[in-house]
Amino acid sequence: MNNEKFIRRWEKTRQKGDGRYVLTNGIAMGIGMCTGAIINRLIIHKNSFDFYRYFEYFIAGFIGGIISAIISWSKNEKRYNELINRNL
């Protein structure tokens, strides 16, 4: 992604706030891990559905997504500030 496009996208994301960014990414990662686990168990291993196991996958993905989002927020903020200061 080029710098101008990054700046435009990140400004929109920043306006929504870091809390929303972290929560959205956490939920997305949780859903992704849960979906992957369900596909793995039902299609590949042909095991029965166990709600609690998949809920654990969702929670693990959610926590991982939150940690990842916090790190990426900091990195994106640093990049954004460097690009803005360089252009001034």
pLDDT of 56 over the 80 cut? yes
Domain edges within the chain: 18-82
- Of 62, 80, 64, 87, the closest CA to residue 15 belongs to 80
- Of 9, 14, 7, 3, the closest CA to residue 74 belongs to 14
Judge residue 27's burial from the number of C-beta atoms within 10 Å of its C-beta, 0-12 exposed, 13-18 middle, 19 or more buried: middle
Query: Is pLDDT larger for residue 46 or for residue 52?
Result: 52
Q: pTM of the prediction?
A: 0.78
pLDDT of 82 over the 70 cut? yes
Q: Give the span between the Cα atoms of 2 and 23, in whole angstroms.
A: 26
